[in-house]
Amino acid sequence: MVETEVDPEIPLPPLQEAALDEATLDRLFLDIAAAAELVSVSLKAGATARAGDVPRAGSDELVLARRALRDGTALGAQIRYRFAGSEWCDTLLRTPSGVRLVRVRIEDALGACAAPTSRRGSTRRERE
């Protein structure tokens, strides 16, 4: 196995992680449907395959994604939505004990990408 040296100056966006049981996962889908503006839903079919984007059908996208996670036709889902003035991305991955949630605020991720990338301190935005 090859180890890659990580530059300690490379900033990473803050992530929120949680292990969800089925009831909590159901509540997450209900909360997003009720309180957020849905941007997109994508499904992951397998280790190397992508199930694709869920057809735009309003809140039905969330119902289809939840069903695919429950019945195993999707091993994961990525849900992008707007809530409280920010855009969020929730990645849901099936695990033997339930579902793993990784959440990131898009603005934080973009900010990390624009942070200094060289020792001179220039940012990607400054170079563009």
**Mean pLDDT in runs of 10 for the chain (128 residues)?**
54 88 95 95 74 58 90 90 95 93 91 51 38
Q: What pTM was estimated for this model as a whole? A: 0.73
- pLDDT confidence of residue 113: 60
Across-strand partners of 105? Answer: 88
CA 53/CA 79 separation, integer angstroms: 10
- Nearest Cα to 73, choosing from 99, 96, 91, 94? 94
- pLDDT confidence of residue 110: 83
CA 34/CA 78 separation, integer angstroms: 18
